[in-house]
Structure 1
Amino acid sequence: MKQIFIEAKESLLKKKIFALLILVQATVFFFLLSVLFLHFNNVDTKTKSFYAQYEGKNIYQLSDELFNEKEQEYLSKDESLANLKNFYNTLNKSSDFKYLNTTTQPIGIVNFKGNKTFWEGYEDGSFPPHEIDGKKYEFVKSLQINKQVIDSFDLKLLEGNLFQKDDYIYNNNNKSIPIILGSDYQSIYKIGDEVEIDYIMKSLKGRVVGILKPNSVLPVRENIEFYLDKHIILPSFSIEQAPINKDDSTFQKRHYLQLINGQIFTEKGSLQVRKLIDEISQSTNFYDLIIIGANDTGIDIMFSMLKQNINLLIMLTVLLFCFCVVTIFFSFIMKWNINIQKYAIHLISGATVYNILGYMFWEIFIIISISVIAVIISITFIGFMPIAYYFIIILTGLAITLSSILPLYIKLKKLNISNILKKKV
């Protein structure tokens, strides 16, 4: 065994360019395989966790029809706030469906510590800083969510806590409201920090209670994959107290007007949902809304695309594997034509077919091992990989080695030594 290993090493050192080319090719292959594994693992994780919650479900969007003068006219009515509160509370407590409220209302922050990429509308060059009551507010991306969103989707935290039940109830005696930050805020604010907030023209104090893990997503209106990394998350709180003045009344009305523009998450069909919403409208005396039909087609398309992505990843992996095996095989065929007389002399000198095969095996194995180790070390800089990754990489390396050597074994078995020595082959 030692002699075979020495022979293999000497052969590689003599043909450095040959060995280097195979090494580069194998390294590129295993790097691509690692990238494919990460992508496959990401798709598979989402399919089993986030997307699995959509299977068999329909999502209906509620949208009020109060715009401009019609909105002003409605909000001027004394009973409008009570009707809006009753309508939202009935939706929120319904046992016939899940009511998800995800509102993308930007909030102002005094003395904001982040950069402009956190600003609402930064990508479009809008929403510059505003001054309110002598204080400079920078309006940043924000999302308000109700308890059902937290309960329905598995949000993971880097640190801190998610919203608790009491966080969804607000009164004027509250010293602060809890906020959860997207992962990009982790170097800007820490747990326990307080910030001054302007939310729908009302000054509030926010207290950081949690920071989300990177790439956290939620369904927000028509966007099934809404990334939260640059968002500040507020609870969609209910306000049990009656307004203390006209400004507070205006704030509560506008707040509840946002809360009723949510989504219904259910297995029920369109007719059943419309009937349920009609009943709620009648019992709460609020009728100014429409139901945007179920996007079950969109969900079906999403699942179909996920399956296609997985199939494409598998196909690409197989093609890369075959390409690597074939190119290594042909590389060794070229080397075979160069070293064929050397192999024949070894056989005449008492070496067996398996000894020659051993030289070739160790040549390939050494190259594959170096490329595997190099890729594994490089990938660890990205982060800890699942145990399955290491098994797959190592087993693939062995499979490539054995698959590459098999055709050479067949060729070696058919070798005619006398013809080789007479230079007829």
Structure 2
Amino acid sequence: MKKTLKFLGAIAAVAIVVTIFFTINKRKYNAVGYEKESTQAIISETNNSYAILSSETNNLYVMLADEYLDDDDLSELYSEEDILTRLSKLNDDLNKNFDYYELSFQALQSLEYYNLDDDFVKVYNRKGDKIQNQAIKIDGRSHYVTSLNTVQVNKRFFDSYLASIEKGEAFNDDDYILSTSENIPVLLGYNYTPYYNIGDTLKLNYLGSDMTFYIKGFLSENLEFIKDNETISMDNYICVPSFKIASASQQTDSEQDLVFKIRYYLQKNRGFIQYGINNDIKKIKQEINDLANKYDLAYTVLNTTYNISPNKT
């Protein structure tokens, strides 16, 4: 791993931010904040052989993973010089040089008492566990946290799998670039239509930061895609564009903004690279290794083939 800097004074400020937002649950997800898959479990897959899951070559992907495995790794990363710039430039290269598909299920979270349909609430595991109306205090104020079904996708993914609109407008190119002064456009699944109108705004928490989202449209009814053997029905989801942050100055950001942006780009950089059955995956792995070295970051390509396809039924 490429972590050469020691903890500096900034880590104390980071610890304050993390304490504020990570107050309820110390499992792989938290009531408010950063939801990261168990990368240790993911990395262990690299000892396995590739498992081809489909004969349709245009549906085959390999996945990127970082090697920042726990809170200590992440805290040290936050203190590194120019880390935000390096993560952002890596993402630019991924989107420029590969058929790179950004897909994340990081939950948007309501901090008010939630009384809409339970089907909108995210289920985290096979036991049916949810974060729904969990009472916490932030800065002395009481909140009720509910995690909502959410998907974040870049333009390449959206155009390939989700570009079917019931009403309103689909994302355009400008929606994939965010300045600090903008609200964030979202598309809601079809089952949200009785509750909201186009142009309505939602105040939700995203990776530990409170943000305002405006409803640009609604996805078509029964819109689905398949990831491996799991069918993802978008009817109960909020769809967010995986945007590029226009302002990424590490010197002028507040500590909270910086932590959000680092988490956000870590999320964007755990995407999928599409390849053809005859392509040399070893070449992709080498190119990713070269990029990781270029930006002094710890990234790898998992030795597992994933299948992502539209549901044609």
What TM-score does the superposition give when structure 2 sets the normalisation length? 0.71
Deviation at 1:294, TM superposition (A): 4.9
Shift of 1:271: 1.2
Question: 2:36 maps to which residue?
Answer: none
Partner of residue 273 from structure 1, selected from 281, 284, 293 = 284
Describe the SS at the equivalent of 2:288: helix
Regions of 4+ moved over 6 Å: none
**AA at the equivalent of 2:196:** Y
Q: 1:245 to 1:154 in 2, by over 3 A?
A: closer
**Residue 110 of structure 2: aligned partner:** 109
Deviation at 1:60, TM superposition (A): 0.3
The residue that corresponds to 1:183 in the other structure is 190
After TM superposition, the structure 1 = structure 2 runs for residues 258-337 of structure 1, keeping only pairs within 5 Å, are 258-267=267-276, 268-286=279-297, 288-295=298-305
Give the strand-richer structure, 1 or 2: 2
| Aligned-partner Cα distance in 1 for 2:289–2:185 | 34
Taking only aligned residues, the RMSD between alpha carbons, in angstroms, comes to 2.8
User: Residues 177 and 125 from structure 1, CA distance in 2 versus in 1: closer, same or farther, beyond 3 angstroms?
Assistant: same
Equivalent residues of 1:74, 1:80 under 8 A apart? yes
Q: How does 1:118-157 map to 2 (within 5 A)?
A: 118-121=120-123, 124-130=128-134, 131=136, 132=138, 134=141, 135-153=143-161, 155-157=163-165
Displacement, 1:231?
A: 0.8
The AA in structure 1 aligned to 2:121 is W
Q: Is contact 1:58-1:294 (8 Å) kept?
A: no
Task: Give 2:80's match in structure 1, choosing from 68, 77, 84.
Answer: 77
Note if contact 1:216-1:227 (Cα within 8 Å) is conserved in structure 2. yes
Q: Does 1:214 align with 2:217?
A: no
Deviation of residue 128 (structure 1)? 2.2
Does the Cα contact within 8 Å between 1:106 and 1:142 map onto a contact in 2? yes
Q: Residue 93 of structure 1 aligns with which residue?
A: 96
How far apart in 2 are the matches of 1:100 and 1:219?
14
Tell me how far apart the structure 2 counterparts of residues 154 and 206 of structure 1 sit (CA, whole Å): 19
CA deviation string 1:151-204 (max 9, x = no partner): 222531111111111111112111x11001111111111211111010011111
Q: 1:235 and 2:244 equivalent?
A: no
* Structure-2 change in CA distance of 1:56 and 1:121 (3 Å): closer
Distance in 2 (CA, whole Å) between partners of 1:53 and 1:145 is 24
**In percent, how many aligned pairs have the same letter?**
24
Name the one with the larger helix percent: 1
TM-score, length-scaled by structure 1: 0.53
Larger Rg over CA atoms: 1
- CA distance 1:215–1:110, shift in 2 (3 Å): same
Residue type at the aligned position of 2:179:
N
Distance 1:229 1:57, change over 3 A: closer
Whichever residue aligns with residue 106 of structure 2, its letter is Q
Contact 2:289 2:300 in 1 (8 A): no
Q: Does 1:249 align with 2:255?
A: no
Counterpart Cα distance in 2 of 1:149 and 1:225: 16
5 Å-filtered alignment, 1:368-407, equals none
Match of 1:414 in 2: none
Amino acid at match of 1:279: D
266-275 or 139-148, which deviates more? 266-275
Q: Quick one: distance in 2 between partners of 1:216 and 1:198? A: 26
Partners of 1:113 and 1:157 lie apart in 2 by: 26
Query: Could you tell me how far 1:91 is from its partner in structure 2?
Result: 0.5
CA distance, structure 2, for counterparts of residue 182 and residue 248 of structure 1: 29
Supply the AA of the counterpart residue of 1:108.
Answer: Q
